[in-house]
Amino acid sequence: MVLRYKLPPGYSHPMTDVIGILEGADPIAVRSGDGRLVQVSADQVIALKTLSARPIRIGEIRNLETAAAAAWPGVEQAWIDGWLLRAGHGFTGRANSALPLGGAETVAGFDASTFERIRQWFGDRGLPTLLLLPDRLGTAPDGWTSEKETIVMAADLGNVTLPLGPPVTSFADRPDHNWLSTYDAHGDPAYVEAVLTAVVGSATFGAIGNTDTTLAIGRAALTEAPDGKRWVGLTGIHVAPEHRRHGIGSLICGDLLSWGRQNGATHAYLQVSAENSAAIALYERLGFVEHHRYRYATDPVGG
């Protein structure tokens, strides 16, 4: 289990985590790997959840989030006190948010001056200030609203059953009109394409169908984490409503993963809303498991 709980006033951080075995429920009691028993009252508990079979280290979260940021960097980036800022014409939260990747100093360095500089950077671009906060990498400041919980799922490509034979998916370096129409993104098409094709690495756009009918689409981006691990990230997976529940989603995901492995990827990830149970079930069948989660935090001051 991982237990996140509030710390008393006077600590440098408002909360902390402990990973271990749940030994009691009243009060909540978790015994950590070093034998320490942590007991907290129910009103101190922020979150309590079951971990995957192997606990995920903070460094692993940071490495995967760095690779994912390279796959979705927006069209402009900047670093402020350990936070990666991205702007992408307002298209998607990932491409228009600040992400804490600088290590342990990120949260400690997020003082009033940092707030103001981040706000100014987004404000200069006509964007609201939005933070993307992965588990254990950063916390929302007091008064900010956290929402849109997202699960980051990952898989070792050696453990994923990929399609045999030639792919049924066609691949292109850029999304064509049919791909973009199926994606159904809101916003200026030129801006949408600019964000979709921005990647620090390589990307491909897959589609199943023909010139008259598009059954499914998806994007795969190949990027490298700081630890040298090569990841293929799946985004934009969409199956036409009338063709769902026929295995087409699994087909296009499998072909995109095969593309990643053929181009040197050893691991794969994707992001899915915590409320999208159907998609989560699909990805679990493919061999993905939960790696960590993130949430967005919005600035109460506004843009």
Sketch the domain layout of the chain as residue ranges.
2-49, 58-144, 154-294
Residues 6+ apart with CB under 8 A from 41: 27, 28
pLDDT value of residue 282: 87
For range 253-279, the mean pLDDT: 95
The predicted-structure confidence for 23-32, as pLDDT tens digits, reads as follows 777 788 887 7
pLDDT confidence bin for 296, thresholds 50/70/90: very high
Residue 99 burial (CB count, 10 A): 24
For range 158-187, the mean pLDDT: 87
Dihedral (CA of 294, 295, 301, 303) sign: positive
For residue 179, pLDDT over 50 is answered with: yes
Name the β-bridge partners of 85: 78, 98
CA gap 36, 116 in Å, rounded: 40
pLDDT confidence bin for 47, thresholds 50/70/90: confident
The predicted-structure confidence for 182-241, as pLDDT tens digits, reads as follows 998 778 899 999 999 999 999 999 999 987 889 999 999 999 999 999 999 999 999 988
Q: Is 271 exposed, middle or buried (0-12, 13-18, 19+ CB in 10 A)?
A: middle
Residue 59 burial (CB count, 10 A): 12
Q: Which residue intervals of 129-240 are DSSP H helices?
A: 177-183, 189-197
User: What average pLDDT is seen over the chain?
Assistant: 88
pLDDT value of residue 107: 56
Nearest-CA neighbor of 85 among 105, 63, 101?
101
For residue 108, pLDDT over 50 is answered with: no
CA gap 20, 85 in Å, rounded: 34
Q: Which CATH number fits domain 154-294: 2.60.40.3620, 3.10.450.50, 3.40.710.10, 3.40.630.30?
A: 3.40.630.30
Query: What is residue 76's three-state secondary structure?
Result: strand
Q: Which residue intervals of 125-157 are DSSP H helices?
A: none
Q: CA-based Rg of the chain, rounded to a whole angstrom?
A: 20
For residue 109, pLDDT over 60 is answered with: no
Please tell me the least confidently modeled range out of 16-25, 122-131, 194-203, 271-280.
16-25
- Whether residue 280 contacts residue 273, with contact meaning beta carbons closer than 8 Å, is answered with no
For residue 33, pLDDT over 50 is answered with: yes
